[in-house]
């Protein structure tokens, strides 16, 4: 994506979140906007509690209900989302269905997704959550896509730092 288009996208996302706030509805709308723009079909937004070192599911899209017990709360350093917080950088798997690296937990296959990336959501230097997106085909996100997703995370983070709601949507 051209830098001007990337900037425009982030400004539109920020405008949407300014209108709705980091309510569950606002984050759901933001997640769907991001998934559509990146041609992804599934995604999550988790908030991170540094005191308990637990990620809490805020919003999901196209994640099977059967996985909820495993993704409602994710410990620091566990799975792609937990590793994204621990490493403070994106964690990517080209194909969840065939991955043997141990980065993705075995239950990740149940999403039916293949190409997946989890990115820390920052406010300044503080990690406040994780954005996860996935495609139904094997896929490696480019450096430009990762940069855009990190920028998206910064926009979402501005709003998440003021909200602590914990319900989720499918």
Looking at mean pLDDT, say which of 82-91, 105-114, 157-166 comes out highest: 82-91
pTM above 0.75, yes or no: yes
Residue spans of alpha helices (H) in 112-167: 143-160
The predicted model gives 34-48 an average pLDDT of 95
Q: How many residues make up the chain in this entry? A: 170
Q: Could you say which architecture CATH assigns to the domain 3-160?
A: 2-Layer Sandwich (3.30)
For the record, the structure tokens of 87 come out as 């490493």
> How far is it, in rounded angstroms, from Cα 119 to Cα 104?
14
> How far is it, in rounded angstroms, from Cα 161 to Cα 122?
9
Spatial strand order in the sheet of 126-134:
73-75, 54-61, 42-49, 126-134, 116-123, 91-93
Spell out the residues 6+ positions from residue 145 whose beta carbon is closer than 8 angstroms to its own. 1, 38
Q: Count each helix (H run) and each strand (E run) in the chain, helices first.
A: 5, 6
Percent of the chain with pLDDT over 90: 68
What are the residue boundaries of the structural domains of the chain, listed by start?
3-160
Tokens 């566990």 sit on residue:
78
């Amino acid at each position: 994506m051209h830098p001007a288009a990337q900037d425009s996208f982030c400004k539109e996302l920020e405008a949407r979140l300014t209108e709705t706030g980091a309510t569950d509805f606002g984050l759901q709308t933001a997640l769907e906007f991001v998934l559509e723009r990146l041609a992804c079909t599934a995604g999550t937004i988790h908030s991170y509690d540094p005191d308990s070192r637990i990620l809490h599911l805020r919003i999901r899209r196209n994640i099977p209900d059967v996985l909820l017990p495993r993704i409602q709360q994710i410990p620091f350093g566990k799975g792609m989302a937990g590793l994204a917080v621990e490493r403070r950088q994106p964690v990517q798997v080209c194909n969840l269905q065939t991955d043997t690296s141990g980065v993705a937990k075995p239950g990740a296959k149940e999403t039916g997704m293949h190409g997946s990336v989890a990115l820390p959501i920052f406010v300044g230097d503080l990690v406040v959550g994780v954005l996860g997106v996935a495609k139904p085909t094997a896929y490696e996100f480019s450096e430009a896509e990762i940069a855009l997703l990190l920028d998206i995370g910064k926009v979402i983070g501005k709003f998440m730092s003021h909200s602590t709601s914990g319900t989720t949507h499918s």
